[in-house]
Structures are given as C-alpha cells and as structure tokens.
C-alpha cells in the first residue's frame, strides 16, 4: 500500500536526475526513477472499472500510481478495492491547518508526471472547460502544469454526449492541450445504446504508455 493521506511520496522524486560529474568518481550510482501517474475518478458509472484500471497501470514496470476521487465517484466502487493511495476532498481540508501546512492539490500536481481522468463525467467536463475548481480533483486540474500530459476519458449517457455543449467543452479541453481518449459506442448500463461509454481499459493503458514515451522517453524495463 502506498503512503496514506498526508504522506505523499517525496517530491524530490519528481525532479530530473542529474548525471554525476566526471570529477566525482565516488558518486553513488543513480537510482532508476519511477514515473508518477495520478488517476482522477469522477461520478460516472464507468468508475466501476477504476480498480481494474489502476491494477493494469500497476502492471507497467516503472510506474507509481495514486488516485484522486470525487465524492460521487465512490458510489460506483469500493475504495478498499483501489490498491494504491486514494485521496478525496476531506484529505485536503484535514491536511491544511495553518500557513506552513501542505496544500494537497499543489503537492499532487507537483508529484505527478501524467494526469489521467478516467472516467470524466459530463458534470466535471463542464467544470474543467469553465475553469471551475470546487473539489480536490478539479483543483489539481486547474493548477496542472500544462508542460506535462493530461489525458481524459469522457463517459456519459448517449443523449448527454450528443448535446451540442459537449462537443464545445471537449474542444475546449483539447485547446488547453489535454489529450482525449475518445468514448466508444455500446449498450450502456442505463439501457441506451450509442456513443458515450468510456474507452476500454486496455485502450486507456496503451495510450498512457504511448504518451509517457512521447513526453519523457519512458521505457518499460
């Protein structure tokens, strides 16, 4: 189990490793750096797949994973089934008491090399497109360093997906530099059939590996 709330992995680990100087033959050998993936989970029924998605990401050698969840997302999975540290809104407020205390959404933003929002429901899509940040996850997104990749996986009812505002909001996220992992067509849990289902877990994991390689030279050991 990863460190619990308030014990975010050392931020030193996010800094690029420097090659030892040639004039320092006694320098200690470099420790292989792990890449940090932060998974954001929102209140779509596709959050049912969160334990499987996290487990598949952990199968990638060299990755360290943490999860940020909205409160409503917890309705669709058991937090005990998430095999890594799980952060939610209460953690941020409990952690900060005075000026010298850590700000969790900033620490998470610094720690992560890649942010994956899967699923991204219609409500959070609208918030992110508008710059609203009223929970831990949307605060992380609003503070995100746009030199690092952010991937999002829309997931919603077909009628919601087909509403004209959805395309505008997705385009806005792309204009921010975020990468869409498109939704797919299938029979949804509600019984409707059509576009709106979150991409398959295997597709998402493959895209994470592709983007990490493109942005950081990440290679599986």
Cα 21 to Cα 40: distance, rounded to the nearest angstrom? 39
Q: Strand (E) positions, 160-209?
A: 179-180, 184-187, 193-197
The kind and range of the H/E element at 203 are: helix 201-216
Helix, coil or strand: residue 182? coil
Tokens of 56: 């598949």
**What residues act catalytically?**
190
Q: Strand (E) positions, 17-85?
A: 35-41, 63-69
Q: 151 forms bridges with which residues in the sheet?
A: 116, 179
Decide: 148 and 115 in contact? Cβ < 8 Å.
Answer: yes
Decide: 197 and 185 in contact? Cβ < 8 Å.
Answer: yes
Backbone angles phi, psi at 115, to 5 degrees: -110, 125
């Amino acid at each position: 189990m990863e460190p619990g709330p308030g014990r975010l992995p050392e931020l030193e680990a996010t800094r690029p490793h420097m090659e030892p100087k040639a004039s320092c033959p006694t320098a200690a050998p470099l420790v292989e750096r792990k890449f940090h993936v932060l998974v954001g989970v929102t209140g779509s029924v596709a959050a049912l797949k969160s334990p499987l998605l996290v487990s598949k990401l952990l199968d990638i050698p060299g990755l360290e994973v943490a999860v940020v969840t909205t409160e409503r997302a917890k309705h669709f999975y058991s937090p005990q089934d998430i095999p890594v540290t799980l952060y939610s809104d209460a953690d941020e407020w409990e952690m900060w008491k005075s000026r010298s205390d850590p700000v969790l959404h900033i620490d998470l933003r610094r720690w992560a090399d890649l942010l994956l929002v899967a699923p991204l429901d219609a409500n959070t899509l609208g918030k992110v497109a508008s710059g609203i940040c009223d929970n831990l996850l949307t605060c992380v997104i609003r503070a995100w360093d746009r030199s690092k990749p952010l991937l999002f996986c829309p997931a919603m009812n077909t009628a919601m997906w087909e509403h004209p505002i959805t395309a505008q909001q997705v385009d806005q996220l792309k204009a921010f530099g975020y990468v869409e992992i498109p939704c797919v067509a299938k029979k949804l849990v509600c019984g409707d059939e059509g576009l709106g289902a979150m991409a398959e877990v295997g597709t998402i994991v493959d895209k994470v590996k592709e983007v990490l390689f493109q942005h950081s030279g990440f290679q599986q050991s």
